[in-house]
Amino acid sequence: MIGLPILSVVGMEFLERGSWHETMHWISTNHPLFLLNVVLTFCLLALIYAIVGSLAISGSIATLILGLMAIISYMKVKMIGEPFFPWDILLNKESMDIATLVTGKAALIRIIAVAAVIILVLLLRWVIPRVTIPIIARIGLGLFSLYALYAFGIKSPLAGKILDHAGVNEIVWDQQQNYANNGLTLAFTLNVKNSIVQKPDTYNETAIASVATNIQATAAKAPEVKSAKLSAGKKPNVIFVMSEAFWDPTLLTNVTYSEDPLPTIHRLQKEAGNAGYLLSPQYGGGTSNVEFEVLTGNSMSFLPGGSIPYQQYISKPLPSLASYFANQGYKSMGIHSYEGWFWDRNTVYKELGFQSFKSSEKFVNPEIKGYFISDAEVARNVNSEVDKTEDPMFIYTVTMQNHGPYDDPRYGENTIKATGSGLSAQAKSILETYTQGAHDADASLQMMIDHFKDSDEPTMIIFYGDHLPMLGMDYQVYKEAGFISTSNANQWSLDEIKKMHSTPLVTWSNFDMPKQENPVTSASFLGAHVLDMLGMEKPANFTLDGELAQQIPGLLSNLVVDADGQLQAKAPESLAPLINDYRNVQYDLMFGKQFLANYIDHDYLTKGSQPDYNAEFGATGIAAKSEAQGSEDAKPASAQ
């Protein structure tokens, strides 16, 4: 019971770090932290033993749990730069669905190694003498172990003293570094308390009342925004298109292409005064977190690193762009070309105030390209929904076609070829497959522009990527192409952090719209920016977003971009009061007592979900889908 936890911690750190040298260096230079990891692992083993009663079986179960943790954390870090968190356990269907797309030699070797150790531990039943502990002692051991795990999970006062004495430094804002410093078992346990967002020290009704007064004063003294020029007073359709993993591969300076892969984006960047870059809180995954920032105006910077609001926090109505536009007489619809359960969108969209949500189950006979519904099919659905709806529409669109991985040439023969002296054959193949998909996304934007450019319905399209694509393990393509200096994200410069979190952002409209220069816009500030472009009055939380965006248009947990484009690791102290207001309002709306609604925008801030949510996709929609599926099955294979 002492030896197995020691070996387990060594094995877990080796599996997760991927280097024996790094593992031994961490152990040799962090004896107290290594010991804490062993203690926690011992408590897990003792708890299982207290329940099971067989040391060999308990050791096998503990090894399975810890081995899976290490493998998952290793793969997550390699794919998206984030380790394994307690709340990842909630991602049951999502994890299994994406796991089928992730294979590789490294993962297979680790799985075989863990399986071998489990078998070895089981075989020890015939070697180690059986020891029987009285039931009372087992219960006592189990209760002690459970309490110890609980105490470290919530960081009780006694556990806090132990952690301080051991020199534990919890780096919540940089979880990869947090796990690297403290060890997988300890960092994972400490993150349990982060599943619940702590109330800010400055949050109370008096503070929120002061924020409301400041918001009203800001709105009163703000210069009049030049409204969009619309004919006959028509309200414009507002279409957000968040394109999966969309990025500009021509930014790889050491790579050239056989043709321009993004002609539409590049044309709009030259023509429009409303083109720039979206600063995303994510890399390689976590689409719903970008969606959360754009729709609510809230920031991931104030939530635990690696958390997923859609899965963890949104269980009641939360004001968003969807509910705001619904209040303005719009039909608000979400469109996503993947299954509605993913990231709990079916339920979350209801809480965000959408009237309807058209997920892949509601698409009729969709075109598939690669693994998923094509971006062209999504464009056709957007065009169709606008055409058949009398009211002006707010549509939030999320595509899926170019979701990773890009290891297989899933589009067949790629028409766009990449050339780079530093690219390996594998990196070249990955890049060309990704670029082909990005080209299709660009073409889908042009399809929507062509559809609406001569329409008598005023329409605005906001098009951007949710995050940079994961182009190989350990940022392989970016490193080989010279886009970043190292595959160790902890060693990136501020400029590299900015580059690895910036996706193209363009807007287009078929009516005259005032031009605004916004080179960089955080996803959480995009909603306020769009409302300003449309000349629409901003609700309270988006007014606060707009005020902060004037000072720091780019805000991530580890990067701030000020109004002059200067980069800093954290916001200047002079902006602390405004940032505290932003944090307090976010807490008030998501977790607090909704004090803000007592002082301003009560109807918008307290609006419930739409009573007829998704009524249009009820029995009729299901029947239509079944009929379409029957027609699809009747097609010859070549047509499908």
| DSSP secondary structure letters along 246-304 | ---GGG-TT-EESS-S-HHHHHHHHH-SS-EEEE-S-SSS-HHHHHHHHHH---GGGS-
**pLDDT beyond 90 at 499:** yes
Strands 418-419 and 256-257: antiparallel
Mean pLDDT throughout 456-472? 94
**How confident is the model over 5-47, as pLDDT tens digits?**
999 999 889 888 878 899 999 999 989 999 999 999 999 999 9
Of 287-291, 322-326, 630-634, where does mean pLDDT reach its minimum?
630-634
Domain assignment present for residue 448? The answer is: yes
Q: Do 144 and 293 lie in a common domain? A: no
- Tokens describing residue 617: 């996709």
Give the 3-state secondary structure of residue 568: strand
Domain assignment present for residue 639? The answer is: no
Q: Which pLDDT band holds residue 114 (cuts at 50, 70, 90)?
A: confident
Q: Do 188 and 222 lie in a common domain? A: no
Q: Do 220 and 166 lie in a common domain? A: no
Q: Which pLDDT band holds residue 227 (cuts at 50, 70, 90)?
A: low
Strands 276-279 and 502-509: antiparallel
Domain assignment present for residue 310? The answer is: yes
- Distance, in Å, from the CA atom of 14 to the CA atom of 18, rounded to the nearest integer, reads 5
Question: What per-residue confidence (pLDDT) applies to 421?
Answer: 85
**How confident is the model over 524-551, as pLDDT tens digits?**
999 999 999 998 999 999 999 999 999 9
Q: Which runs of E-coded beta strand occur in 200-244?
A: 237-243
Q: What's 336's domain CATH number?
A: 3.40.720.10
Of 99-103, 276-280, 387-391, where does mean pLDDT reach its minimum?
99-103
**pLDDT beyond 90 at 97:** no
Q: Do 191 and 236 lie in a common domain? A: no
Question: What per-residue confidence (pLDDT) applies to 197?
Answer: 84
Domain that holds residue 66: 3-195
- Distance, in Å, from the CA atom of 404 to the CA atom of 470, rounded to the nearest integer, reads 7
**pLDDT beyond 60 at 640:** no
Question: What per-residue confidence (pLDDT) applies to 344?
Answer: 84
Domain assignment present for residue 635? The answer is: no
Residue 34 zone, left/alpha/beta (φ > 0; ψ -120 to 50; rest): alpha
Nearest to 571 by CA among 582, 557, 585, 583: 557
User: Nearest 5°: CA angle at 603, between 389 and 296?
Assistant: 70
Q: Are 549 and 525 in contact (CB under 8 A)?
A: yes
**pLDDT beyond 70 at 624:** no
**How confident is the model over 562-609, as pLDDT tens digits?**
999 999 998 889 999 999 999 999 999 999 999 999 999 999 999 989
Q: Do 151 and 217 lie in a common domain? A: no
Q: Which residue has the tokens 């190694």?
A: 113
Mean pLDDT throughout 396-418? 92
Domain assignment present for residue 386? The answer is: yes
DSSP 397: E
Q: Do 250 and 228 lie in a common domain? A: yes
Per the document, the length of the chain is: 640
Give the 3-state secondary structure of residue 399: coil
Mean residue pLDDT across the chain: 87
Q: Do 167 and 225 lie in a common domain? A: no
- Distance, in Å, from the CA atom of 466 to the CA atom of 523, rounded to the nearest integer, reads 9
User: Nearest 5°: CA angle at 514, between 511 and 516?
Assistant: 130
Question: What per-residue confidence (pLDDT) applies to 634?
Answer: 34
- What global pTM score does this model have? 0.78
Domain assignment present for residue 78? The answer is: yes
**pLDDT beyond 80 at 232:** no
Q: Do 104 and 238 lie in a common domain? A: no
- Distance, in Å, from the CA atom of 100 to the CA atom of 382, rounded to the nearest integer, reads 29
Q: How many domains are contained in the chain?
A: 2
Higher pLDDT, 629 or 352: 352
331 - beta bridge partners?
A: 393
- Distance, in Å, from the CA atom of 486 to the CA atom of 334, rounded to the nearest integer, reads 38
- Tokens describing residue 329: 């007489």
- Distance, in Å, from the CA atom of 276 to the CA atom of 498, rounded to the nearest integer, reads 13
Domain assignment present for residue 335? The answer is: yes
Of 173-182, 213-222, 570-579, where does mean pLDDT reach its minimum?
173-182
Q: Are 370 and 411 in contact (CB under 8 A)?
A: yes
**How confident is the model over 116-163, as pLDDT tens digits?**
888 888 787 777 777 778 888 889 999 999 999 999 988 888 988 898
Domain assignment present for residue 633? The answer is: no
The beta-carbon contacts of 380-386 under 8 Å, at least 24 apart in sequence, are: 380/447, 381/335, 382/239, 382/241, 382/335, 382/448, 383/447, 383/448, 383/451, 383/452, 385/333, 385/335, 385/358, 386/237, 386/239, 386/452, 386/457, 386/459
**pLDDT beyond 50 at 262:** yes
**pLDDT beyond 80 at 222:** no
Q: Do 138 and 263 lie in a common domain? A: no
Find the Cα–Cα–Cα–Cα dihedral 499, 501, 502, 505, rounded to 10°: 170
Q: Are 502 and 519 in contact (CB under 8 A)?
A: no
Q: Which pLDDT band holds residue 281 (cuts at 50, 70, 90)?
A: very high
Of 32-36, 174-178, 211-215, 545-549, where does mean pLDDT reach its minimum?
174-178
Percentage of the chain modeled with pLDDT above 70: 91
Q: Do 186 and 280 lie in a common domain? A: no
User: Nearest 5°: CA angle at 153, between 150 and 156?
Assistant: 75
- Distance, in Å, from the CA atom of 75 to the CA atom of 203, rounded to the nearest integer, reads 38
Q: Which pLDDT band holds residue 247 (cuts at 50, 70, 90)?
A: very high
**How confident is the model over 329-382, as pLDDT tens digits?**
999 999 999 999 888 899 999 999 999 999 999 999 999 999 999 999 999 999
Question: What per-residue confidence (pLDDT) applies to 135?
Answer: 86
Q: Which of residues 155, 174, 195 is at a domain's end?
A: 195
Report how far apart the first and last C-alpha atoms of the chain are (Å, whole number): 58
Question: What per-residue confidence (pLDDT) applies to 621?
Answer: 40
| DSSP secondary structure letters along 78-120 | HHHS----GGGGG-HHHHHHHHTT---HHHHHHHHHHHHHHHH
Of 111-120, 249-258, 352-361, where does mean pLDDT reach its minimum?
111-120
Q: Do 136 and 212 lie in a common domain? A: no
- Distance, in Å, from the CA atom of 160 to the CA atom of 168, rounded to the nearest integer, reads 9
Mean pLDDT throughout 472-485? 91
Q: Which pLDDT band holds residue 622 (cuts at 50, 70, 90)?
A: very low
Question: What per-residue confidence (pLDDT) applies to 324?
Answer: 96
Contacts for 515 with CB less than 8 Å, ≥ 6 apart? 272, 273, 274
Q: Do 139 and 234 lie in a common domain? A: no
Q: Are 552 and 560 in contact (CB under 8 A)?
A: yes
Rg (CA), the chain: 26
Q: Which of residues 174, 195, 216 is at a domain's end?
A: 195
**pLDDT beyond 90 at 391:** yes
Question: What per-residue confidence (pLDDT) applies to 566?
Answer: 93
Contacts for 430 with CB less than 8 Å, ≥ 6 apart? 406, 407, 471, 472, 476, 477
Mean pLDDT throughout 414-441? 94
Q: Which of residues 145, 173, 195 is at a domain's end?
A: 195
